[in-house]
Structure 1
Amino acid sequence: MPDALVIVESPAKAKTIGKYLGKKYVVKASMGHVRDLPKSQMGVDIDNGFSPKYITIRGKGKVLKELRDAAKRVKHVYLAADPDREGEAIAWHLAHSLEIDAQSNCRVVFNEITKQAIKEAFKHPRSINMDLVYAQQARRILDRLVGYNISPLLWKKVKKGLSAGRVQSVAVKLIIDRENEIKAFKPEEYWSITAYLTKDDQRFEAKFYGVEGHKQDLKNEADVKTILEKIEGQPLVVRSVQKKERKRNPVSPFITSTLQQEAARKLNFKAAKTMMLAQQLYEGIDLGKEGSTGLITYMRTDSTRISNLAKEEAAQFIKENYGEEYLGKSSGGGKQNQKAQDAHEAIRPTSVMRTPQSVKKYLSRDQFRLYRLIWERFVASQMAPAVMDTMTVDLEANGVTFRATGSKVKFPGFMKVYIEDNDDGKKEENRFLPELTEGERLEAEEIEPKQHFTQPPPRYTEARLVKTLEEKGIGRPSTYAPTLDTIQKRGYVTLEDRRFVPTELGEIVIELMEEFFPEILDVGFTAEMEQHLDEIEEGKENWQKILDEFYAGFEKRLQVADEQMKNVEIEDEVADEECEKCGRHMVYKIGRYGKFLACSGFPECRNTKPIVKEIGVQCPTCTKGQIVERKSKRNRVFYGCSEYPDCDFVSWDKPLPRPCPKCNSLLVEKRSKKHIKVQCTQCDYEETSQ
């Protein structure tokens, strides 16, 4: 007969924890929240101190009955939801529903699901932290006040089904502002001159630096001609050779935002997918004889702190597998963000000895890839800096200076395990220079002048947008993924080549928001509100006071908007295509998965179809249809025959209009971050085009 009931959020977590606690404990799952504000109404009594009206979530009655029955059969009930605001709120709602005293020692928290962490946590149960609960409740009510007041206004004035969340609106505005920057951008001309030289059979390049020792920009072709005339027929003489040793320090272990950014860059994962997989790794994976085991620490964190035990284990692993010289002398969590709450450790493997390869057979492909990323990043963070030998050579011809730079890895350090990506996908490569001495004369094999134009700022990728939101203090680790998901589902932005582009609808909504609710879109205001929520969590602010101060001005703006906001009619864009069912024109509509074609005769005619884009390749299967570009429900591009469903040709790789020179079959383009490879679908022919 068990002595205690432990309630967690998910069955996977229940299974893992149950394994460690033994027969005296019964572990059950609440399946997330059991109470929430009602969907059909505001659910907040504004006149009574913003008192929330919680109800049992539909479908949770059966779960609650099972938990109540289990609670009656034990002496103690422990609430072990996740160790954050949301988890604290779940525990508080469970305490209310099960009539447990929130002030009793009913709350158990842990940062990792390992035997040691679980056993230790149950030695120190505590009461429910109401400051954490109030912070979560304040955010929930704040978002409800904004969403349930502005959204109906947008339905009335613009279009049904719109929403205006606090953080999501700022995210959309950032995307629109960036798009406006790109449109307003005026490219400026500039030039470069590269000299190609060879010594000891080693070819290297030197770039124009300046004249008479002063750096100079080449703004036009006339500037270039002047330089070329000065150096025509002149040898390049080595004037200085500088050799230095440069250290490159390892990056910190992951926090939520950096995990989302790096998973987007290296694995092409959306933020929501990254968090879903991380949750699975945290809650527990069945490792055969070892049973269900949590592989990583809690994944919603803004702290780079690491426990001493984890550091010691990592040090042992590094020494045994790479050698003493690879161990970092002061390895730690790196520089801590000043805004970090430091409630949890960084995201790391629960045991560094559990290498990715040792658990690979128990994980799905994507679980493995994410675990490997987390494991490698953590191990690298505890390793020694890399040491680079750098060389800078200035060469001169008639007072004109060219500069060659080279570098090579002297000691790889942490780079033996992991190198961080960047948003541009550029990787640092070894660039060797031959041994050169001052006074040495070299003849340039080629002098190449090249015209360039400055480029506009890039559109936001998911990784870049998460980074910007974090830097500006907008949202918190738990909000990034749902925010990015929502703005796409509402049709405010679309993803083109993995970059956010605002839609007409998004621009209209933000324009109205800017006119009537400027504070909602103000980055500083939103960041300040996040700070107030943090202060509520720390017990420094009263949650009702914060809401009252916000609502006083917001209520007045609502009244003005209701009276003065004009009706905006968004006309459907007519397509150059007729409905095959009724003959009316088709129009472009925006749905959950982007644009699609629908009959203008709706609701009499409900014909819809996806938008297809021909790529100029005839179908190799039926030879009647054209290959068209389509998108899957997950927004992934694929290629199929226009005669579908009569022809079932489909390809994830882009077919090319030219046949294979070897067997005359279909060629396809296979893209990776490093290059584009052209392959034949029938024989072994291939070529690298980039």
Structure 2
Amino acid sequence: IEQALKRPRPIDIDLVNAQQARRILDRLVGYQLSPVLWKKVQRGLSAGRVQSVAVRLIVEREREITTFSSTPYYKITAVFSLPDGGELLAEGQSKPATAEAARQLLQQLADDSFAVSEIKKTPASRNPAPPFTTSTLQQAASNRLGFSPKQTMMLAQRLYESGHITYMRTDSLSLSPLAVKQMADHIEKTYGRQYLQTRRYKTKSAGAQEAHEAIRPTDISKTAITGKDSGQNRLYRLIWRRTLASQMAAAQLEKTTLNITGASSRYRFTASGAIVRFDGFLKLDPPKTDAASDVMPPLKQGEKLGVLRIMAAETPERPPSRYTEASLIRQLEAMGIGRPSTYAPTISTIIDRGYVVKRDLPGVPGELLRLRAVPGRPVEQSAETIMVGADKGKLMPTDIANLVNDFLTSHFTNIVDYDFTKELEGEFDQIAKQKKPWQKVLEKFYGPFKQAVDNAENISRAEVAGARELGVDPKSKRPVIARMGRFGPMVQLGRAEDAAKPEFASIPTGQSIETVTLEEALQLLALPRQVGRTADGKIIEANSGR
């Protein structure tokens, strides 16, 4: 601060114009597009240049998962006996597509003899991660501490206001020379000179503004802070470790790979591991697994190994993973969409508006085939029960998100177009560099956007409702439809123009317009139904809801 006060400079009006253009454009989108959603979809909704793209990412990922078709394969592993009486687990070179192919392979391999055919030892190093930016802090706090982006920014704000860390809204990786010197002195004094390796990090993102330093402790000698708020303490320790580790020596590893080949089948198994020769920055942040468990036994090339058992495990292909808050931020940043200061409020907004829910899925029971072979015996077969589709703490779109996303992609393509949103960020950067006038950027955007808003007046609510015909009720022969109603997603028996009045039932949490089946819809429409009477003659009804 003292150095800055000694060197004042004029306000950079180009940076002001870039910020002004971003603010005006975002307000144009929000103020003019949100009322369109109120009229055509549902009141209380909102749209935004970044939030609508975030919703689109989540909607499209969920649809990828829904349409994903898993093709199972069989993972081959073997357990070999070692000369010292120990055991060695190795993975096979192939993945049979069928149970019969896996069974035949296991029978063949169980009676084969195996020996070490190749030993590869290669040195490797592992470098520390750079200090935190806003987005990487949010990701690390989510993954390691279980904090939401909103919670992380709230705690970081308090740490900043208390003078414990530097400004927490930044996309820069740079550290001040003074801070680097303090860290170097601390590392050399605390851990020894061999642990010191100062670095200057450069931001790879083309759109980074780098107006501030990376997030770091203001006093590196303060290894922890005292106070009643454990969240602040945990976040500070995360920042402190990451910052100090960024100036420490790389960890030196030795990777060992063993190839084990069958004498007659020539089938190859591979076992690999790594040991830490010098821990370097891992002194501060040791790996979660014990390095000793990765040590390969001292074997020689040509040494024979006994077969204890060979296994084949049916393994389903996994669909794409749903987004967590951390992975959504990472994806937005990789696509060049949004700024460090926008990620946390964007995620909070799409949750608060009911577009996205953070949910645990219990999954459904399923069975996977397991085959096991030992020398001289037939192949044994068993089944393992697993939970299929189980997920924890993932972001999932609601029916309203699907509806709004389809409406925007059809009628306001630019707003949710990934490349268009990224190009706008680039144009804001051009304004900051005095290469484009901000008025022209807004004029270029607003003309087509205003025309799309005006055209939306002619779109009917029925067209937007996202109605999906599920089939025909076998009793009444009337169509069964899933659609968005005034009070949320519902199923409908019959049409408004039919002689008989349509019947309605709400779609409960856990089901959606896109996935509900005809059978499920008919069960919902059958409620309430009389299931009996009490001892004093009162009717007992089954129904959903409270």
Q: What TM bracket, shorter-length normalisation?
A: 0.7 to 0.9
2:221 match: secondary structure: coil
Residue by residue over 1:288-322, the C-alpha shift from the partner in whole angstroms, topping out at 9 and shown as x without a partner, is xxxxxx11111111111112221111111111111
Query: What root-mean-square deviation, in Å, do the aligned CA atoms of Structure 1 and Structure 2 show?
Result: 2.5
Query: Which residue of the other structure, out of 412, 416, 422, is the alignment partner of 2:283?
Result: 416
Per-residue deviation, 1:168: 0.4
Q: 1:610-662 deviations in whole A, cap 9, x for unaligned?
A: xxxxxxxxxxxxxxxxxxxxxxxxxxxxxxxx9xxxxxxxxxxxxxxxxxxxx
User: For residues 147 and 334 of structure 1, do their structure 2 counterparts lie closer, same or farther at Cα, with a shift above 3 Å needed?
Assistant: closer
Describe the shift of the 1:229–1:574 C-alpha distance in structure 2 as closer, same or farther (beyond 3 A): closer
Alpha-carbon distance in 1 for matches of 2:76, 2:507: 48
- Give the structure 2 partner of residue 312 of structure 1: 181
Task: Find 1:396's aligned residue among 237, 255, 261.
Answer: 261
Match of 2:32 in 1: 149
Q: Who is 1:171 aligned against?
A: 54
The answer for the alignment partner of 1:489 in structure 2 is 352
User: Can you give the 5+ residue segments of structure 1 that lack an aligned partner in the other structure?
Assistant: 1-117, 210-215, 285-293, 576-584, 596-641, 643-690
Cα distance in 2 for partners of 1:537, 1:574 equals 45
- Residue deviations 1:416-453 (CA, integer Å, cap 9, x gap): 112689xxxx9988412211101111112111111111
Answer yes or no: is 1:365 the counterpart of 2:230.
Answer: yes
* Aligned positions of 1:656-671 closer than 5 A: none
Counterpart Cα distance in 2 of 1:460 and 1:319: 41
Structure 1 residues 198 and 327 mapped into 2: Cα distance closer, same or farther (>3 Å)?
farther
Assess if the C-alpha contact under 8 Å between 1:238 and 1:439 holds in 2: yes
The answer to whether the 8 A contact 2:42-2:486 is kept is no
- What is the SS of the residue equivalent to 1:160? coil
Q: Deviations over 1:219-265 (max 9, x none)?
A: 22233234223323222111111112111111111111100000000
Cα gap change, 1:319 to 1:334, in 2 (>3 Å): farther
Answering whether residue 115 of structure 2 is matched by residue 251 of structure 1, we say no
Q: 144, 150, 153: which one pairs with 1:272?
A: 150
In structure 2, C-alpha distance between the alignment counterparts of 1:221 and 1:434, rounded to whole Å? 32
Letter in 2 for 1:248: R
- 1:166 match: secondary structure: coil
3-state SS, counterpart of residue 50 of structure 2 = helix
Q: Match of 1:260, as an amino acid?
A: Q
Partner residue, 2:474 = none
Instruction: Give the structure 1 partner of residue 204 of structure 2.
Output: 336
**Structure 1 counterpart of 2:100, from 218, 222, 226:** 222
Residue 652 of structure 1: aligned partner: none
Q: Does structure 2 conserve the Cα–Cα contact (< 8 Å) formed by 1:262 and 1:420?
A: no
Q: 1:242 to 1:251 in 2, by over 3 A?
A: same
CA distance in 1, matches of 2:229, 2:395: 29
2: distance between equivalents of 1:573 and 1:558?
25
Aligned partner of 2:21 in structure 1 is 138
Match of 1:180 in 2: 63
Q: Distance in 2 between matches of 1:401 and 1:440?
A: 15
1:642-681 matches, within 5 Å, as: none
How does 1:34-433 map onto structure 2 within 5 Å? 118-199=1-82, 200-209=84-93, 216-284=94-162, 294-328=163-197, 330-333=198-201, 336-356=204-224, 359=225, 361-362=226-227, 364-397=229-262, 398=264, 399-418=266-285, 430-433=293-296
Distance 1:283 1:233 in 2: 69
Distance across 2 between alignment mates of 1:231 and 1:445: 11
TM-fit CA distance, 1:203? 2.3
Give the Cα–Cα distance (whole angstroms) in 2 for the partners of residues 445 and 242 of structure 1. Answer: 24
The residue correspondences of 1:470-489 to structure 2 (distance < 5 A) are 470-489=333-352
Contact 1:282 1:299 in 2 (8 A): yes
**Using a 3 Å threshold, how does the CA distance of structure 1 residues 262 and 420 change in structure 2: closer, same or farther?**
farther
Structure number with greater CO (CA < 8 Å, separation at least 6) is 2
Q: Structure 1 vs Structure 2: percent identity of aligned residues?
A: 43
Deviations 1:147-205 (A, max 9, x none): 11111111111111111111100000000000011011111121111111232243220
Partner AA of 1:434 in structure 2: P
Q: Displacement of 1:565 after TM fit?
A: 4.5
Report the counterpart of residue 620 of structure 1 in structure 2.
none
Q: Compared with structure 1, are the counterparts of its residues 429 and 548 closer, same or farther at alpha carbon in structure 2 (3 Å cutoff)?
A: farther
Residue 136 of structure 1: CA displacement?
Answer: 2.0
User: What code does the residue aligned with 1:416 have?
Assistant: K
Q: CA deviation at 1:573?
A: 6.2
Q: Which amino acid aligns with 1:374?
A: I
Contact 1:406–1:432 under 8 Å retained in 2: yes
Please report how far the alpha carbon of residue 334 of structure 1 lies from its aligned counterpart in structure 2 after TM superposition.
5.8
Superposed, 1:545-564 pairs within 5 Å as 545-564=440-459
- Give 3-state SS (helix, strand or coil) of 2:215's partner: coil
Moved more, 331-340 or 506-515: 331-340
Any idea what SS the aligned residue of 1:343 has? coil
8 Å CA contact retained: 1:236, 1:442: yes
* Residue identity opposite 1:163 in structure 2: S
Count of residues in correspondence between the two structures: 445
For residues 337 and 352 of structure 1, the distance between their equivalents in structure 2, rounded to whole angstroms, comes to 27
**Cα distance, 1:344 vs structure 2:** 1.8
Whether the 8 Å CA contact 2:106–2:311 is kept in 1: the answer is no
Instruction: Work out the CA distance in 1 between the residues paired with 2:10 and 2:206.
Output: 29
Cα offset for 1:333? 2.1
| Per-residue deviation, 1:588 | 7.5
CA contact (8 A) 1:132 1:537 kept: yes
Q: 2 CA distance for matches of 1:124 and 1:495?
A: 48
Assess, with a 3 A threshold, how the Cα gap between structure 1 residues 573 and 471 changes in structure 2: closer, same or farther: closer
CA distance in 2, matches of 1:432, 1:404: 10
- Distance in 1 between the 2:6 and 2:119 partners? 64
C-alpha separation between the residues in 2 aligned to 1:195 and 1:119? 66
**Secondary structure, counterpart of 1:395 in structure 2:** strand
Q: Would the alpha carbon gap of residues 278 and 486 (structure 1) be closer, same or farther in structure 2, given more than 3 Å must change? A: same
Query: Which residue is 2:424 aligned to?
Result: 529
Is 175-184 or 142-151 further displaced after alignment? 142-151
**Deviation, structure 1 residue 279:** 1.3
Task: Report the AA paired with residue 402 of structure 2.
Answer: E
Letter in 2 for 1:206: A
| Deviation, structure 1 residue 463 | 0.2
- Equivalent residues of 1:407, 1:430 under 8 A apart: no
The 1:512/1:259 distance shift into structure 2, 3 A limit, reads same
**2:518 alignment partner in structure 1:** none
CA shift in 2, pair 1:532/1:363, >3 Å = farther
Matched AA of 1:225? R
In 2: Cα distance, 1:574 partner to 1:155 partner: 16
Q: Structure 2 residue aligned with 1:460, among 320, 323, 331?
A: 323
Change (3 A) 1:313 1:202: farther
CA distance in structure 1 between the partners assigned to 2:154 and 2:354 by the alignment = 23
Contact between 2:399 and 2:489, CA under 8 Å: does it hold in 1?
A: no
Q: 1:133: Cα distance to partner?
A: 2.2
* Letter paired with 1:142: L
CA–CA distance in structure 2, aligned partners of residues 507 and 526 of structure 1: 20
- CA shift, 1:129, in A, is 2.8
**3-state DSSP of counterpart to 1:303:** coil
Sort the Cα spacing of 1:335 and 1:227 in 2 relative to 1 into closer, same or farther, 3 A.
farther
The aligned residue for residue 485 of structure 2 is 570
